[in-house]
């Protein structure tokens, strides 16, 4: 078998916890391998070991059949390994182009040669359909666009092995579809992808094989085409899981929680920014109310304001008719 990456018997310990317990993971060239597990199963830790952010206590990493010692991200990059972290590592007030070349700038007599870099970035974005405006400032573009910048950073560094850590957590459904297509295009061009996730439908949509971790241990690897979501979820949590929800229509009672005109403001660099903007809703007894939105759209601030963890700038919160604002 032609493995481009082999992580053999990797053990990574932190004080009081074995995050990765004797894990073996093998990535074939030109495939999308999903790494599935619940939160805290050790997926991100294992990928951080591969990317050189952590050193394992035991085990061996082979890249293209050769044993390697990866002491940091620069080593990983030199071996052609790139990583898109769940929380992007971009400089907010730099342009897209500046972020892509950061750390491997081409200079001539001490001056930055941005023209060649710009051409290479434009060619790559054309080839992989990763359309971005190279002159846009990072803080002005959407999260989905920022993720494309991270992918272009890997391509610009000629990374052949790409690690995506929970890449869909911050995306809209349309952006998720676009990302899935981008991943398929990347492997068509000969890249190999490790895709960390706990979303079974996404694995079914793009992955060739799926390796499962549970509580720091390796459970097994399956061919995605021959496996049901139920079987994968059972490997992930260690018991039978029913993925269909049986739910009678709710018969809501009286209003128990009422939120009126709630706003949360943040002061940043002398400017006031509204993180939550005049939100009102009611929750009745016996019902489930969902607050939906992509990561970073104010859900956390809303909940913190309702529960009094942080201050609201305007608005009221009543529980069972009693004012519990602040």
CA separation for the pair 59, 320 (Å, rounded) = 57
Compute CA 241 distance to the chain's CA centroid, rounded to the nearest angstrom: 24
- Whether residue 51 contacts residue 163, with contact meaning beta carbons closer than 8 Å, is answered with yes
- Whether residue 260 contacts residue 316, with contact meaning beta carbons closer than 8 Å, is answered with yes
In words, the CATH class of domain 3-237 is alpha beta
- Whether residue 39 contacts residue 201, with contact meaning beta carbons closer than 8 Å, is answered with no
CA separation for the pair 170, 143 (Å, rounded) = 7
Q: What is the pLDDT along the chain (326 residues), one digit of tens a residue?
A: 789 999 999 999 999 999 999 999 999 999 999 999 998 899 989 999 999 999 999 999 999 999 999 999 889 999 999 998 877 788 988 999 999 988 777 667 777 777 888 888 899 988 888 888 889 998 888 888 898 999 999 999 889 999 999 888 888 888 899 899 999 999 999 999 999 998 899 999 999 999 999 999 999 999 999 999 999 999 999 988 887 888 888 889 999 999 999 999 987 777 888 889 999 999 999 999 999 887 778 888 999 999 988 888 999 999 999 998 87
Q: For the chain, which residues make up each domain, given as ranges?
A: 3-237, 255-323
CA separation for the pair 275, 287 (Å, rounded) = 27
CA separation for the pair 243, 245 (Å, rounded) = 6
Q: Which of 292, 263, 289 is nearest to 278 (CA)?
A: 263
CA separation for the pair 20, 70 (Å, rounded) = 17
């Amino acid at each position: 078998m032609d493995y481009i990456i082999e992580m053999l018997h990797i053990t990574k310990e932190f004080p009081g916890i074995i995050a990765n317990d004797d894990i073996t993971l093998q990535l074939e060239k030109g495939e999308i391998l999903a790494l599935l597990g619940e939160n805290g199963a050790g997926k991100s830790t294992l990928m951080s070991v591969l990317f050189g952010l952590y050193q394992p206590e035991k085990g061996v990493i082979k890249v293209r059949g050769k044993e390697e010692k990866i002491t940091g991200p620069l080593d990983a990059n030199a071996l052609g390994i790139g990583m898109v972290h769940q929380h992007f590592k971009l400089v907010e007030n730099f342009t897209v182009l500046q972020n892509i070349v950061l750390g491997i700038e081409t200079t001539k007599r001490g001056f930055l040669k941005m023209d060649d870099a710009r051409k290479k970035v434009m060619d790559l974005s054309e080839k992989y359909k990763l359309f971005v405006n190279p002159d846009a400032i990072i803080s002005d573009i959407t999260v989905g666009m920022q993720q494309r910048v991270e992918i272009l950073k890997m391509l610009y560094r000629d990374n052949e092995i790409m690690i995506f850590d929970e890449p869909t957590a911050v995306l809209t459904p349309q952006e998720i579809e676009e990302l899935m297509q981008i991943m398929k295009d990347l492997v068509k061009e000969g890249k190999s992808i490790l895709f960390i996730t706990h979303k079974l439908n996404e694995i079914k949509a793009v992955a060739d094989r799926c390796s499962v971790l549970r509580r720091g241990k390796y459970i097994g690897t399956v061919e995605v085409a021959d496996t049901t979501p139920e079987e994968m979820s059972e490997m992930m949590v260690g018991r039978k899981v029913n993925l269909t929800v049986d739910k009678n229509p709710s018969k809501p009672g009286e209003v128990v929680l009422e939120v009126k005109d709630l706003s949360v403001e943040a002061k940043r660099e002398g400017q006031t920014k509204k993180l939550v903007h005049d939100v009102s809703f009611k929750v009745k007894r016996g019902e489930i109310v969902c607050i939906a939105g992509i990561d970073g759209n104010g859900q956390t601030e809303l909940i913190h304001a309702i529960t009094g963890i942080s201050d609201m700038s305007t608005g009221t919160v009543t529980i069972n008719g009693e004012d519990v604002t602040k």
